[in-house]
Amino acid sequence: MLKEREIFTAGFKERISGYVHNNLPGVQFSERQKAKLEKSAEKATKWIGSTSSLIAHTLFFIISFSLPITGIITFEEMLLILTTVVSLEAIYLAIFIQMSVNKNIKDIEIIQEDVGEIQEDIEGIEGDIDEIQKDVDEIQEDVDEIQGDLDVDTIKENGETDKETVTLDVINALLLQLQAEIETLKKIHH
């Protein structure tokens, strides 16, 4: 039995070293392969954190510890295999978790850039609103001056106002409406 293990181990080492030499010189993957690997890592990380993973691991440990009781393998062999499997799993979990952390850091950086751009846009809009408010105030002053210059002679005998007065009243109403809208915009952006 010991000789069979040595033969298996030697063959395994040759296959692994050949694979590494042929397939990982400089470890270059295409973007498609990287994306596929990242997706697999995400799925593995999600599964490891699930209830089904807890159940599967519990069953695995129960089966592992019952194998020596049934006499299929010795207790020492079971511990060797179990320790190896759990160690490999821990290594891969650490890698998967680090990949998730790296991805989240990239996402956070992108979001921070977007927030910065939005903040700049808001500041620009606030500046525009202030300029519009100044223009509206100036127009309001002009309208007030024009209305002050009108005298009572512009009112017709039948009580109706002339065309200029009606126009000024419409402009005044529009300016008041614009002022109200600007105040609403200011409240929204502050």
DSSP state, 6?
H
Number of domains within the chain: 2
**Residue range 83-130, pLDDT digits in tens:** 999 999 999 888 888 888 888 898 898 998 888 888 888 888 888 888
Considering the domain architecture, whether residues 94 and 126 belong to the same structural domain is answered as no
Q: Is residue 97 part of a domain?
A: yes
Q: Is residue 9 part of a domain?
A: no
Considering the domain architecture, whether residues 101 and 124 belong to the same structural domain is answered as no
Find the domain containing 45 and state its range: 30-105
Residue where a domain terminates, one of 46, 74, 105? 105
Q: Is residue 110 part of a domain?
A: no
**Residue range 24-69, pLDDT digits in tens:** 555 677 888 888 888 888 888 888 888 999 999 999 999 999 999 9
The pLDDT of residue 126 is 83
Considering the domain architecture, whether residues 53 and 74 belong to the same structural domain is answered as yes
Considering the domain architecture, whether residues 130 and 87 belong to the same structural domain is answered as no
Considering the domain architecture, whether residues 149 and 175 belong to the same structural domain is answered as yes
Residue closest to 149 by CA, chosen among 157, 138, 141: 141
Q: Is residue 163 part of a domain?
A: yes
Residue closest to 146 by CA, chosen among 121, 127, 179, 172: 172
- φ, ψ for residue 162 (rounded to 5)? -75, 175
Token digits of residue 188: 């929204």
Q: What is the pTM of this model?
A: 0.48
For residue 150, with 0-12 CB atoms within 10 Å meaning exposed, 13-18 middle and 19 or more buried, which class applies?
Answer: middle
Tell me which residue has tokens 């397939």: 23
